[in-house]
Amino acid sequence: MNMSIMRANSRYYIFSISFVVLIVTFLFSTVLKNYFNDWNLKDTIIKFTRYSNLEPNFHYVAEAAFQPKDRSSIIYQKLANSVDSPTGEDSYFIASNSYNDIYIGVADGVGGWAERGYDSSAISRELCSSMKALCRAQTELTPKQLLSKGYNKIKSDGIVKVGSTTANVAHLTRNGILNVANLGDSWCGVIRDSKIVFQTKFQTVAFNAPYQLSVIPDFILEEAKKLGSSYIMNIPLDADEYSFQLQKEDIVLLATDGLVDNIEPNDIALFISNRFASKDNSKSIVQSLLNYAEKLSKDPNYESVFAKEFTKMSGQYYVGGKEDDITMIYVQVN
């Protein structure tokens, strides 16, 4: 074969292969460009992130503890339901369809109604019962929505004849978001590294007069109007809302004012952290805190939070714990 012809053929083959590679590369890059323009990579990353977040990253261990105040007073002798209530005029609920998504709440019935012959525990008990049932019957609700639906239900059911209550309701999600609705002077706090890193604020109209949800018949309202007085009658929309990102090993605590009227939140954090460092389990920790709070509430020489506030308001020195129902829910974040 002629050598010049062989060299010409080799150049032709090399040129042909290079040209084909160039064409294929161009077509492939064009297809990819159009594909990614149509697909919108940014949206896909966001969607993938949302899908990934559906996997539970957090789970929770919740424990409740409660201690009613003394009910030997004559005003309770005709109020069997109130006397028999294990939480006194307080109540609580814990509702969970899975270990990584829970609702919790506390409610504190206003004791003043007992002095008029009405069961002060009825409204807090029925409200918590209603909210717990709603958690399991409906799709996800915000704490304020849950409070609103629960309150509307007890009013329509007519089980509660007379009463008023505060409420603090929280939802702990699978992604570690703590959502809270607070109406009144119950409390929610988060403890991290022995410190309070989040807490709700009290809602009051005056000293020892918190915001409250009420069920009051017209004839009682009319009587009060004739006397030139009125009752505190808030609605669920008045509740303050909060949202806070939890971390693993945080501790969430919900409590009625029987706890925080006696112990400062920072002291609560130190007490719990010391027990936690000692490897006590959740049930043991919350029970220890309850026992400590009850002891202080009965100490006539203890400068409680309530005593300090009363002294500030009245200008006269006051000392002593505040005896009251104490109810709390302790949640360990894992």
Lowest mean pLDDT among 3-12, 64-73, 170-179, 298-307: 3-12
Could you tell me the pTM of the whole model? 0.82
Q: What is the dihedral of CA 223, 230, 225, 76, to 10 degrees?
A: 10
Separation CA 107–CA 126 (nearest Å): 10
Has residue 165 got a pLDDT over 60?
yes
**pLDDT-derived band at 294, boundaries 50, 70, 90:** very high
Burial category of 200 from C-beta neighbours within 10 Å (exposed 0-12, middle 13-18, buried 19 and up): buried
Separation CA 283–CA 32 (nearest Å): 58
**pLDDT-derived band at 139, boundaries 50, 70, 90:** confident
* pLDDT tens by residue, 36-73: 344 443 443 333 333 334 455 899 999 999 999 988 88
Q: Which distant-in-sequence residues (6+ apart) come within 8 Å of 143 by Cβ?
A: 103, 105, 169, 170, 171, 179, 180, 181, 239, 241
pLDDT cut 70: percent of the chain above it? 82
What SS3 state is found at 283? helix
* pLDDT tens by residue, 110-127: 999 998 899 999 999 999
Has residue 154 got a pLDDT over 60?
yes
48-76 in b/e burial notation, b at 16+ Cβ within 10 A?
eeeeeeeeeebbbebbbbbbbbebeeeeb
Lowest mean pLDDT among 83-87, 146-150, 220-224, 255-259: 83-87
Separation CA 128–CA 133 (nearest Å): 9
User: How many Cβ atoms are within 10 Å of 41's Cβ, its own excluded?
Assistant: 10
In this structure, are residues 303 and 319 in contact, taking their beta carbons and an 8 Å threshold? Answer: yes
Q: Which fold has domain 53-333?
A: Phosphatase 2c; domain 1 (3.60.40)
Separation CA 89–CA 125 (nearest Å): 8
pLDDT cut 90: percent of the chain above it? 73
User: How high is the pLDDT of residue 27?
Assistant: 47
Q: What is the rounded average pLDDT for all residues in the chain?
A: 86
In the chain, the N- to C-terminal Cα span, in Å, equals: 82
Domain ranges in the chain?
3-51, 53-333
* pLDDT tens by residue, 68-113: 998 888 888 777 766 688 999 999 999 987 889 999 999 999 999 9
Separation CA 253–CA 332 (nearest Å): 9
User: How high is the pLDDT of residue 55?
Assistant: 53
In this structure, are residues 131 and 150 in contact, taking their beta carbons and an 8 Å threshold? Answer: yes
User: One-letter amino acid identity for 303?
Assistant: E
Separation CA 331–CA 326 (nearest Å): 17
User: How many Cβ atoms are within 10 Å of 316's Cβ, its own excluded?
Assistant: 7
Burial category of 220 from C-beta neighbours within 10 Å (exposed 0-12, middle 13-18, buried 19 and up): middle
Segments in 229-281 forming alpha helices (H): 257-260, 265-277
The residue that leads in pLDDT, 33 or 197, is 197
**Tokens standing for 34?**
């159009």
Separation CA 179–CA 47 (nearest Å): 24
DSSP 139: S
Q: What is the arithmetic mean of pLDDT over 295-306?
A: 97
What SS3 state is found at 56? coil
**Tokens standing for 299?**
């100490």
Has residue 2 got a pLDDT over 90?
no
